Amino acid sequence: MAISYLKNWEEFRDQELIKATLLLEQLGFSLDTKQVHISGERYLTGNRKLVLLGFRNSDQKPVVMKVSSDPAIISEIEDERRSRNILKEINFAYHIFSFPPEILYTHKQGCVIFITEFIEQEMTFLERPLAEQFFIALKAFEAQEAIHATTYEHANIIKKVFGIFTAQIYLEKIKEYSRDIEIVFQDDKNLKGVLDRAHEFIANNLETIDIYSNFLTHWDFVPHNFRVWGSEIYLLDHAALRFGNKYESWARFINFMTLYNEKLEQALLSYVKNNRDQSEYLSLRLMRVFRLVEIIWYYTNTLVKAVGDLHTLNQKRIIFWTKVLESVLADQPVSRNIVEEYKRIRDNLRSPEEKERQKKLH
């Protein structure tokens, strides 16, 4: 089944790429020789969309092109564009965030084509000095915290577009994730015990989650979803915004940094612990737990699709993120030996295509 899933994706990608190349040429755009965003582990998302890099022929301007003929993905791209336009109209976060200029949006021969300017950056986020990383992240989080569902001038407009997560929804989601994980790992008593503790932690602190909810939050706020140029933060993913707990974006970002930058992870945790109320630090831990269960659930779902080394790697990912979850539940940093050993295994198991794709992300 996993082999056929990969084969189906590759056939779809190759056919769509031929069609997209011709359509884009007619519109005055050309593709780069290398297309890292349609290779590697990309197929696991099940997303029938091509994200292509290229340039406008008239002036060689670098662009990002999203192309799809799938009705569900066409609707998703339309929603993303609508979200982006609404954020621009309401001066989202007082110009803290910028948006890559739109170059072209059109429907042609059954495809949607959405082209934006490619945002260069002097260096990747993780190449920047630690202090700069910290203040960029803090500025981005505080910008999101400035928009509350009950007080923000345009909240009623954007609430309809982005939706809202309450404490009860977070609880229902973690129940759903845990149930799905336990179906696959029926005999793993340790994993079940960790998931039970995660559920109990959320269930016992619903009031804290609700106190800090109704804020606009980017639930996938990680370096590959934004770019920094000068003093500007360019938000690349406009589909991952909703009203929810204000620490959800913090949690996603800090969990990411557990793996990629321990010093930044600890700096952000210390900032909340030392500069905000204890209940806010608890809220951050609650959201970290929620997002960690979610990532374990995500990789569990990929096991039926992944083949070879990638299947092995995703099993290792589930083990690793379970250990991180245990550490957050205990309010302790995960052992660096665990992190470094996982990174060694990951780097050995990743395909050359995925390694190349990762270079372009962070």
* Matching fold, domains 2-117 and 125-359: no
Q: What pLDDT, on a 0 to 100 scale, did the predictor assign at position 153?
A: 66
Q: What is the pLDDT of residues 322-349, one digit of tens each?
A: 999 999 999 999 999 999 999 999 999 9
Q: What pLDDT, on a 0 to 100 scale, did the predictor assign at position 122?
A: 86
Give the whole-number percent of the chain exceeding pLDDT 90: 70
- DSSP assignment of 72-90 equals HHHHHHHHHHHHHHHHHHT
Of 87 and 100, which is predicted with more confidence?
A: 100
Q: With bands split at pLDDT 50, 70 and 90, how would you rate the model's confidence at 134?
A: very high
H/E stretch holding 241 reads strand 241-244
Q: What pLDDT, on a 0 to 100 scale, did the predictor assign at position 362?
A: 59
Q: What pLDDT, on a 0 to 100 scale, did the predictor assign at position 361?
A: 66
Q: What pLDDT, on a 0 to 100 scale, did the predictor assign at position 149?
A: 74
Sequence-distant (6+) residues with CB within 8 A of 136 are 125, 128, 228, 233
Mean model confidence pLDDT for the chain: 91
Q: What is the pLDDT of residues 154-207, one digit of tens each?
A: 667 766 777 889 999 999 999 999 999 999 999 999 999 999 999 999 999 999
| Orientation angle between helical segments 167-184 and 278-302, nearest 10 degrees | 40
**Cα dihedral sign, 301-195-216-94:** negative
Bridge-based pairing of strands 62-68 and 232-235 is unpaired
Q: Taking the domain 2-117, which CATH number applies?
A: 3.30.200
H/E stretch holding 159 reads helix 155-162
Q: What is the pLDDT of residues 20-35, one digit of tens each?
A: 999 999 999 999 999 9
Among 140-144, 166-170, 259-263, whose mean pLDDT is lowest? 140-144
H/E stretch holding 280 reads helix 278-302
Q: What pLDDT, on a 0 to 100 scale, did the predictor assign at position 152?
A: 64
Bridge-based pairing of strands 226-229 and 111-117 is unpaired
pLDDT of 43 higher than 80: no
Structural contact between residues 105 and 113, judged by C-beta atoms closer than 8 angstroms: yes
pLDDT of 78 higher than 70: yes
pLDDT of 212 higher than 60: yes
Q: What pLDDT, on a 0 to 100 scale, did the predictor assign at position 64?
A: 97
Q: What pLDDT, on a 0 to 100 scale, did the predictor assign at position 303?
A: 95
pLDDT of 220 higher than 70: yes
Average pLDDT over residues 195-223: 96
Give the residue extent of every domain in the chain. Answer: 2-117, 125-359
**Cα dihedral sign, 306-309-311-314:** negative
Looking at 3.40.50.720, 3.20.20.70, 3.90.1200.10, 1.10.10.10, the CATH number of the domain 125-359 comes to 3.90.1200.10
Q: Is the pTM of this model over 0.85?
A: yes
Q: What is the pLDDT of residues 225-259, one digit of tens each?
A: 999 988 888 988 888 888 899 999 999 999 999 99
Q: What pLDDT, on a 0 to 100 scale, did the predictor assign at position 39?
A: 82
